Amino acid sequence: MGSTGTAATAGPAGAHERRSASDATGGALLGACAVWALITAAVHGGHPEGVLLAVLALAAGYAGGRICGALLPVAAPCAGALAGLGLALAAPRLALGPASPLGHTGATAALLILATGAACCAAWAARTPAARLVLRLLAAGIAGTAAALGSVVGFAGCALVLLCSLAVTRMRGRTLGIAGLATAALLMTGVSLAIADDALPDGLTAPLEGQLGRQRMLLWRDALGLAGQEPVLGVGPGRFAETSPMVATDVLSDGKPHSAPLQQISEQGLVGAALLAAVFCWLLFALWRSPRSTQVVLSAGAALTVLTAIAVVGNALSMTTVTTGVGLLAGIATARPLGDEPPEGGVRHRG
């Protein structure tokens, strides 16, 4: 009895220490992103405001998600899902800057994917089968909204998040799931870099170019070329439009390479790209350490990973609402609810 009581006391204390260390690591990484943006801007000039705003939005969203997720583990993600849906419907009017042939790529899809992930998290946190069914219908409705808006990528992403959430019903461990999500994100980023470097076989390059568009491929190659010229510091935050030959010859371009990793590596060098990857890894690590159920954790992780795929081929992370939503969803999924949460799998046993 005594040893059991000691273990029970030490367990939560140890978990609290690990979560504090994880939060400290995240804060340090976000701070490093902000400092590195200022350093590269000081060396080459540029506009670090966008990076600083994204860092602030992510941090604020994460902190808010932790608080709301602890107080309202079901209502908070449900409200977040509805807010994301509303913002997605208004996304064309919220997007800044002139439209380009590539469009405001991924903004609507990203918001809908985050909203679907939030609805799935709310469903797994709900206590009754009826509530879980309603919240899953909300997630399905969000996917249907993506289809109605003509966002094929958004519909596919929302459907994938919902299917992943349903597939983890009986999972107890989360290590393999988190590792799988990290591997998928790594593969997607690697493929985009291989396309930019023209390193894929012709049989693969031609179909991908047809799907992504010739203009996007040229922008990616410009970004990789700029990274080769300034591999450590990059050309400076926000200076892709000023230094890209492709942008200089295309008056309709919006001045972005339409790929978060390639924009980061071209504007802030290898260090900036490594910091971006480290932030994503930290989010997955925080989910792995989360006190929430495996189903909540992997539902949120699936949404963040699908969003990564959108960011690899578009400008989703350029929207403050998206980066705030990322932090909010991650914060909710890593919060410790003040009340009891349904057991793993969402099945409450009697007796």
In a domain, 46, yes or no: yes
In a domain, 12, yes or no: no
In a domain, 148, yes or no: yes
The reported pLDDT for the residue numbered 18 is 66
Quick one: which of 170, 171, 218 has its CA closest to 196? 218
pLDDT digits (tens, 9 = 90+) for 281-329: 999 999 999 999 999 999 999 999 999 999 998 888 988 999 999 999 9
More confident residue, 19 or 159: 159
pLDDT digits (tens, 9 = 90+) for 184-201: 999 999 999 998 888 877
**Residue 47's domain spans which residues?**
18-337
Q: How confident is the model at residue 126 (pLDDT cuts 50, 70, 90)?
A: very high
In a domain, 9, yes or no: no
Q: How confident is the model at residue 17 (pLDDT cuts 50, 70, 90)?
A: low
In a domain, 2, yes or no: no
In a domain, 80, yes or no: yes
In a domain, 344, yes or no: no
In a domain, 4, yes or no: no
How far does the chain reach from its first CA to its final CA, in angstroms?
22
The reported pLDDT for the residue numbered 97 is 40
Domain count, the chain: 1
Average pLDDT, rounded, for the chain: 86
Single pTM value for the model: 0.88
